[in-house]
Structure 1
Amino acid sequence: MDSMEPEDPDQDRGASLGASGSVFVRNISKIRGDMVPEVGGKAANLGELANAGLPVPPGFCLTTAAYQRALSGAALEPVLAALSEADAAGLDRLSEIATRARSLVLDSGVPAGIAESVRLAYGELGDNVAVAVRSSATAEDLPFASFAGQQDTFLNVVGVNAVLDAVSRCWASLWTDRAVAYRTTNGIDHATVALAVVVQEMVDSTTAGVMFTANPVTGNRNETVIDASPGLGESVVSGAVNPDHYVVDTLQGGIVSRTLGDRQLEIRAVPGGGTERLERRRSADSDVEPCLSDRQVLALVELGREVQEHYRAPQDTEWAIDPAGKMWLTQARPITTLYPQTTRKPPAPGEHAFLNFSLAQGLTRPMTPMGLAGIRLIASCVARTAAFDVPDPRSGPPPYYEAGQRIFFDLTPVLRSRVGRVIVPRVFDVMEARSAALMRGLFEDPRFTVTIKTPLKLIRHVGPVAAKYRVPESVIRGLFRPAAAMERVEELTAELHKTLVVPGKATSHQRLAHVQRILGEEVFATVPQVLPLPALGFAMLALVRRLLGEQAPYSELQTVLRGLPNNVTTEMDLALWQLASEIREDPDAVASMVGQTAAELVEQYRAAKLPPIAQSGVARFLGMYGHRAVAEIDLGMPRWSDDPTHILGVVANYLRLAEGAEAPDQQFSRAAREADEQVARFVARARAKSPLHKAVVKIALDRTRRFAGLRELPKYNLVLGLGAAREQLLLIGNELAAAQRIDRAEDVFFLDLDDVEAALAGDDRRDVVAERRAAYQQELRRRHIPRVLLSDGTEPEATAVGSGGKQRRGIVQPGTLSGSPASAGLVSAPARVIMDPVGAHLEPGEILVAPSTDPGWTPLFLTAGGLVMEMGGPNSHGAVVAREYGIPAVVGVPDATSRISTGQHITVDGAAGTVSTETP
């Protein structure tokens, strides 16, 4: 921790130790924004503001070298080691260790040489000037973590001895419980963090507060939000007062809304040092004047604009107005909660709405750069087939956008189309119901009025796809020759396998060309040839409902979809269950595996040391399904064949199923029988109407049972192609790693295709990989992901317009959460909240609570007692699979993973679409 100290500990003593003359002290005016390691985030930002000519109170900064010198004898190494162990153990001892660290820091005090530096610098500000002493950590006010309020601030400090005492307490505040927990949560190494201390002249403010140069609630970049209160800004920053609240439209320059606070509390500086809290009682009918005039509000907005323009990003600022009316900036940092805007601007002017395609696919995590590159190629293939102009396939088609390393599509043409408004929300009603509600809410927005009133444009783009892939022929074949339709599906899958083969002796340049061919030409071709069949199956179910009316209630129609044949995902899950069943027949194998962690089982598998029946069975399963993965549409994600941790963990989970419990394969068979029985009942009801009704209903339900399960096949084939492309990219990565242009083969997934070409030509791409890995890790920590994003940054779900004037899903009554009914049934059991299924532990019978699911999650469904998902609709992936297995499920439950905790006893009513936290 002593790397920044001068060689001679006392070389600065007795020298000119003014605000810029010591390694321990820096004048704020001499600080630059790139000096974070030396002065911390707060001081670096203040220095940057001051150098930009913005109004910052004068002062100085006690550098991190001072902190390191003071703590050189504090023996913090055992504390750091204990914190590392506490992190791994789940933070159980965190508070105790933090208290120990604070005591060590306070006991160390301020060394004499450093104290002398502070005396001289403080003296240059004037005689006993009132100052604010503020912590400035090296891991603070960063683009991904603001650390606001994590370390201490001391206001109206008067006299050098009081300043030195505040400095020592600031150093100790680096080790408060909240600061240590915050660093742990954000994955920041405690050993790498140091603290500087800012000492600035106090602004004895008449009014102070905070200002966000973008709306932090809605995300709107064209609104500035100001909170203000009389007195010192501490009352606003700490949340001790209900402040005046102003929202300003920065495009029009007008105040959109003004809400006055209650003025119950005011914090003021006390002569001689310290602050006081003035509490006032006000009657409900007493008049309260705004603490800012309109002129002051707009002047603050202009000041905020200057700060934002300097940093080229929205800023969270603190400000104060002195008795002379001068405005001062006392802080500026990035607004870390804003979701990033799209990486490119729409070509057409006006407001645009972007739909989060990643969430529609059940993917909450960001995608790797190569994963995004792969999706761009596939999207370009789709767009070209649909007669869209795609100038550069590697950049994606015109409607394709990215934000926050996730996929978005421009929804504006749908909102402006009369036909689009009818069709697309209905599709999302069954895929991702909350997105559908947001779309309908935007129908009322005057910025998205209908301008396309005929279906001609839609036909112009859908027609070429239907013609090229003979979609009408597929539908007719499925309707009248279902066996031939299934044979054609098998032929298509076999043809796809052939197109994915790459010669073993291909060069890296040739492999890259094959990747572009596979993703840009081959994998989409099976989608329009297979998808019409499951669409026909669901259409036939809708026909039965129309023919039978009240005799075909929704719940009974859903029973028809249970235990569907021809579903590649359920076939995969049952194959994994069959593997576990074979292992269970060997008691010694079970005994050796049940007590092991998933990571230990993987190690044994790779060393070929699993019990023989398990070793061969896992190898066989991975040979068939090893191309699948969690978040599998991202080709940068390891496949199960790369990392079988998830699969072996699920197998171990299956082995814990109690003897005598109904096995998942038996449940599936029972569900299929119940579906057949329901079909027979529908046919009998139709017979009572007429022989024609009977014939039509029988044929319709046969097609539903035969084809509905194929809904998983297009994505399965897509993932086959992604797996083949990933295999080729790993081979290229091996070559680049050997040539030291990247560090390891897997780094290739943090490049895109252009980068790979450059690396093959000789460019070193290690710095690019490091930068993108860091950005990816930051995005992995993001919990809130918008479903729809407007081009001004607004999230409609966070505004009144997003609800379309209707009650949003969520808490309908105390103790009850609501979503979309997905799979009928009632179950009460402990919840298990799982954010990532890899290595997850799910006890048989527990209710799985997840943000979303894709086929990589479904092996967990076999032993789950029920399912609750934040995403999805009645026909989303998780809902369909839950129905097939006969487990109650509710999907589209807002914030389910934060409102429900592991171990909490909950009741899932899959028919009503509710989740109760109290057992009825």
Structure 2
Amino acid sequence: MSQYVLGFDKIRKEDVAIAGGKGANLGEMTAARIPVPGGVVISADAYELYMKHNNINVLDYYKADRSRSLEELRTSIRNGSFPDSLQEEIVEAYNSIGHPVAVRSSATAEDLEDASFAGQQETYLNVDGAMMLLQSIKDCYASLWGDRAVSYRINSGYDSDSVKLAVVIQEMVNSDISGVMFTSDPSGDADNVHINASYGLGEAIVSGIVSPDEYITDRYGCIKCQHIGDKKDQIVYSLESHGTCRIPVPDNMRTRKVMSDEQVSRLVAEGLNIEKHYGHPMDIEWAFKDDKIYILQARAITTISKCSEKKFTDADFEGLPVTKPAKGKMRENILFNLEKTPTPYYPLDHDFGGFVGQQKEILFDQIGLKFGDGLYPIDDNGITRLPSNKIKITKGIFSLPRYWKMICDIDNNITKSEESLKACTQAFHKEKELRPATVKELGLALERMHDLIGKTVYDRFLYALFPNAIESMKVTKVLKKIDKNLNSFDVLEGLSYITADINRELSLLAAYINSDPEMAAYVDSHSYEEIVIRYSELGTKLSTFMVNYDSKSDYNCYCFAAKTWREDKERFISVLRPMVKSGAGVATLEEGEKSFGKLMNKVKASVSASKYADFEKRVKAVRHYHYIREASQYLWESEFEYCRKLLDDLCKAMPAQRQDLLMLFADELYDACRKESLDDYEDIIERRKAKRPLAEAYFVRSMERALSTDSDDIVGIAGSTGQATGKVCIVNSPAEFNKLCKGDILVCTYTDPEWTPLFTLAAGVVVDTGGTLSHAAIVAREYNIPAVLATGDATSKLKDGDKVMVDGTSGKVVKI
């Protein structure tokens, strides 16, 4: 392709002068891995070439009587011809994408942040055939000089004489449903998302010929209110004349909701991902085909009234605990927990996802250390607050010697942890075989799964994590005498556990992909579905990988808010891409075993035989405990995934909306299932839904106040020693993984095992949350790069491109 015809992958949002506003946004979203139908842009330079080739000078027409001269100008444009070379390029590009196509105008003064220009130029749908395509492009050129478009530009203060037009040629989506989404409600609470939806093509809504469904949601995709529109007609492809036609919607479909709650939730998540990428609220045209989301257009919202934004004041928070700045260990604890739980729990997720952390609290209680208000205090309105960290000593303290003896019994812990993991895994498989179907059965299944999650995690703490804390300290003490840079994490080399196995398999996949540069380029810019269709052998390898590891999720302490790779394959591809990009391999299991052997020989040569025997036994324990830590986490992630399925099945069986069930605590949900009705909880659900925006605002306010400092310095916890200098790259989510380049300093709010491939690219890591035992610290040490964790606010104090020095030894980050 040339300067006249550009693929979406060659365009970014800064290229408005070349691709017009619409084309620039489509290119930007394609680069951000947003599900945009493929296509090309006929550049603004091509428009100039066309006008010059046909000797059309806009000023010759524009200076005369406007209404008459604009019509003559449009006629001249429609009757013109393309230069042969340009026409060949356009037709060749058209033949390279799927048919039929949409042909959309994209003016160089369009979709800007202060004016949308929506609907001022023409769009042609269901265009099929080269001749129809070329005429549609001419019609788009002519529409730049429509009376309405010229008037709009004049009223908006844009120079009509200098405006040019690019044309988007994009694969058509024969949508089942479609519509428009505002990621910030321009006519109500700015914290809400506003969706209009109808059947068929989105033209029905955009042109105003139907009364669509309307959904107002919170920023988690939970519907706060909805209006079922009349939806009398829909726009569909015309089989006779190409283009589109208007047909009636069957009566039984008109009164039905167009979108399921799950589709609404997915669409909101995609919209907020786009808003996050652009940094401001967006007006998005979208479509669903075969339950897959497609983003057709996106532009900045230009009509949000500042007075419509909901602002919470001190009066709103009256009666809620006042948060004070946290210091020392309390601050570290907040940041460690914030890595696991960066958003406030819904009540049901508090009782399922939060049940993981509560197992540690239960164990502490059994040894006489009772946390006053728990690790995750939440009130009856569903409002989470920070724990007081007050600890009360109870009579359980007398059982401490017994527990201490148990925690230090390596042989018993290895046996018990292995038995528990096996038993919980078998119990989980049996649960899945039961296939509950009725409301009562599903409620009982969720209750059993809740208990199983508790046992999975409780035994993990009792037989692995608590013992590991003791043995790791003893192993580190020995290693420090030999080399001050060593610690217990160094004895994990050559160990087969779920995260390490995933990384090794990802490395093999990346090496296979990089063996074919064309394949690597394709993986970098296409979806999972497109990749497996294009490259069948790679598809087989990816399928094999997913069979073994597809229950890996994003947030492992959220049950109902999380998603696994099986549920979101595009996130998996986002994880794979940095590994492909870096070209750096991960040590094989055999290489790791050799390094581990060398380390052990080094210790053996430095201590007595008896001390080495003791050390060897403790190392065996540390390695086993780490294996159990990883395997049990993967198990509960799988258990969480099954709970999500049960909840979705329950929504259908009751029937009920998912967001309503999320507003119930577990015991309330079980009771509703026994009664097969939500009647007793309708008022409670509505009250908590109404309080949800306050809950979110209070959580943010609490964190800001707890972590606030008077200093501009960026100081945290030393997670991995060493120093590195580089440019800052802020990564907010897996969707932005591809931003990171080799040698950048990765700056982020949190990490989890899914982020590991980024450590093959980063020169250093800076994280707002976490601690010395968190994922980022462990992996940074494994890759021998410096890391500073628990900074609290590095993502707000730094910006992309800043040059910094990361000192992982002192825990400081310095701008240079």
> Which residue matches 2:726?
829
> Which residue matches 1:488?
419
Residue 565 and residue 822 in structure 1: after superposition, are their counterparts in 2 closer, same or farther (change >3 A)?
same
Which residues in structure 2 correspond to 1:190-339 (within 5 Å)? 190=301, 193=304, 335-336=312-313
Q: CA offset at residue 676 of structure 1?
A: 4.2
Name the amino acid aligned to 2:585: A
1:838 to 714, 732, 735: 735
Sequence identity percentage: 17
1:663 to 585, 598, 615: 585
Q: CA offset at residue 360 of structure 1?
A: 4.5
Q: CA offset at residue 835 of structure 1?
A: 1.8
1-structure distance, mates of 2:729, 2:793: 15
Name the amino acid aligned to 1:654: M
Aligned to 1:832, what secondary structure does the other structure show?
A: strand
Name the amino acid aligned to 1:402: I
> Which residue matches 2:812?
914
Aligned to 1:402, what secondary structure does the other structure show?
A: coil
Q: CA offset at residue 514 of structure 1?
A: 0.9
Residue 341 and residue 830 in structure 1: after superposition, are their counterparts in 2 closer, same or farther (change >3 A)?
farther
Residue 585 and residue 500 in structure 1: after superposition, are their counterparts in 2 closer, same or farther (change >3 A)?
farther
Is 2:513 the partner of 1:583?
yes
User: In terms of Rg, which structure is larger?
Assistant: 1
Is 2:409 the partner of 1:476?
yes
Which residues in structure 2 correspond to 1:654-803 (within 5 Å)? 654-658=579-583, 662-665=584-587, 673-687=594-608, 691-735=609-653, 739=655, 741-742=656-657, 749=662, 754=668, 761=677, 784=700, 786=702, 795=705, 797-798=707-708
Q: CA offset at residue 559 of structure 1?
A: 5.9
> Which residue matches 1:893?
791
> Which residue matches 1:647?
572
Q: Describe the superposition over 1:852-896 as per-residue Cα deviations: whole angstroms up to 9, x where unpaired.
A: 222333343344333211112222222112223333222122311
> Which residue matches 2:746?
848
Q: CA offset at residue 526 of structure 1?
A: 4.7
Residue 819 and residue 730 in structure 1: after superposition, are their counterparts in 2 closer, same or farther (change >3 A)?
same
2:551 to 608, 611, 627: 627
Q: CA offset at residue 729 of structure 1?
A: 1.0
Name the amino acid aligned to 2:800: T
Aligned to 2:340, what secondary structure does the other structure show?
A: coil
Is 2:791 the partner of 1:883?
no
Q: Describe the superposition over 1:634-692 as per-residue Cα deviations: whole angstroms up to 9, x where unpaired.
A: 2223322111221112223322234xxx41235x87666545434433333223xxx43
Residue 591 and residue 502 in structure 1: after superposition, are their counterparts in 2 closer, same or farther (change >3 A)?
same
2-structure distance, mates of 1:624, 1:342: 49
> Which residue matches 1:456?
395
Is 2:319 the partner of 1:401?
no
> Which residue matches 1:286?
none
Name the amino acid aligned to 2:606: R
Asked whether the equivalents of residues 528 and 569 of structure 2 are also in contact (C-alpha less than 8 Å), the reply is: yes
Name the amino acid aligned to 1:476: D
Q: CA offset at residue 407 of structure 1?
A: 5.3
> Which residue matches 1:365?
343
Asked whether the equivalents of residues 630 and 857 of structure 1 are also in contact (C-alpha less than 8 Å), the reply is: no
Aligned to 2:511, what secondary structure does the other structure show?
A: helix
> Which residue matches 1:250?
none
Residue 193 and residue 144 in structure 1: after superposition, are their counterparts in 2 closer, same or farther (change >3 A)?
closer
Q: CA offset at residue 541 of structure 1?
A: 3.6
Asked whether the equivalents of residues 385 and 702 of structure 2 are also in contact (C-alpha less than 8 Å), the reply is: no
Q: CA offset at residue 710 of structure 1?
A: 3.6
Structure 1 unmatched runs, 5+: 1-76, 89-99, 108-137, 146-179, 198-331, 347-352, 389-395, 418-451, 789-794, 801-807, 812-816
Aligned to 1:664, what secondary structure does the other structure show?
A: coil
> Which residue matches 1:574?
504
Q: CA offset at residue 758 of structure 1?
A: 5.3
2-structure distance, mates of 1:836, 1:398: 29
Query: How big is the alpha-carbon RMSD for the aligned residues of Structure 1 and Structure 2?
Result: 5.2
User: TM-score, length-normalised on structure 1?
Assistant: 0.48
Is 2:352 the partner of 1:374?
yes
Asked whether the equivalents of residues 424 and 456 of structure 2 are also in contact (C-alpha less than 8 Å), the reply is: no
1-structure distance, mates of 2:688, 2:735: 23
Q: CA offset at residue 850 of structure 1?
A: 0.9
Residue 862 and residue 706 in structure 1: after superposition, are their counterparts in 2 closer, same or farther (change >3 A)?
farther
Q: CA offset at residue 725 of structure 1?
A: 0.8
Name the amino acid aligned to 1:478: D
Q: CA offset at residue 751 of structure 1?
A: 5.9
Name the amino acid aligned to 2:390: P
Name the amino acid aligned to 1:681: K
> Which residue matches 2:530?
604
Which residues in structure 2 correspond to 1:493-508 (within 5 Å)? 493-498=424-429, 500-508=431-439
2-structure distance, mates of 1:602, 1:547: 47
Aligned to 1:365, what secondary structure does the other structure show?
A: coil
2-structure distance, mates of 1:578, 1:892: 33
2-structure distance, mates of 1:87, 1:895: 38
Q: Describe the superposition over 1:554-599 as per-residue Cα deviations: whole angstroms up to 9, x where unpaired.
A: 5222562553624322222333333333334455533432233xxx
Q: Describe the superposition over 1:364-414 as per-residue Cα deviations: whole angstroms up to 9, x where unpaired.
A: 2333454224246667777778879xxxxxxx9877513897755644532
Q: Describe the superposition over 1:196-244 as per-residue Cα deviations: whole angstroms up to 9, x where unpaired.
A: 99xxxxxxxxxxxxxxxxxxxxxxxxxxxxxxxxxxxxxxxxxxxxxxx
> Which residue matches 1:820?
717
Q: CA offset at residue 518 of structure 1?
A: 0.9
Residue 523 and residue 545 in structure 1: after superposition, are their counterparts in 2 closer, same or farther (change >3 A)?
closer
Aligned to 2:341, what secondary structure does the other structure show?
A: coil
Q: CA offset at residue 333 of structure 1?
A: 9.4
Residue 733 and residue 602 in structure 1: after superposition, are their counterparts in 2 closer, same or farther (change >3 A)?
farther
2-structure distance, mates of 1:644, 1:719: 16
2-structure distance, mates of 1:184, 1:545: 45
Aligned to 2:603, what secondary structure does the other structure show?
A: helix
2-structure distance, mates of 1:529, 1:905: 42
1-structure distance, mates of 2:696, 2:636: 24
Asked whether the equivalents of residues 417 and 464 of structure 2 are also in contact (C-alpha less than 8 Å), the reply is: no
Residue 377 and residue 679 in structure 1: after superposition, are their counterparts in 2 closer, same or farther (change >3 A)?
closer
Structure 2 unmatched runs, 5+: 1-106, 119-150, 159-184, 193-274, 284-299, 324-329, 367-371
Name the amino acid aligned to 1:611: Y
Residue 83 and residue 551 in structure 1: after superposition, are their counterparts in 2 closer, same or farther (change >3 A)?
closer
Name the amino acid aligned to 1:627: S
User: TM-score, length-normalised on structure 2?
Assistant: 0.54
2-structure distance, mates of 1:838, 1:405: 30
Aligned to 2:753, what secondary structure does the other structure show?
A: coil
Name the amino acid aligned to 2:342: T
Q: Describe the superposition over 1:161-190 as per-residue Cα deviations: whole angstroms up to 9, x where unpaired.
A: xxxxxxxxxxxxxxxxxxx99x97466985
Aligned to 1:849, what secondary structure does the other structure show?
A: strand
Is 2:450 the partner of 1:519?
yes
The alignment covers a number of residue pairs equal to 536
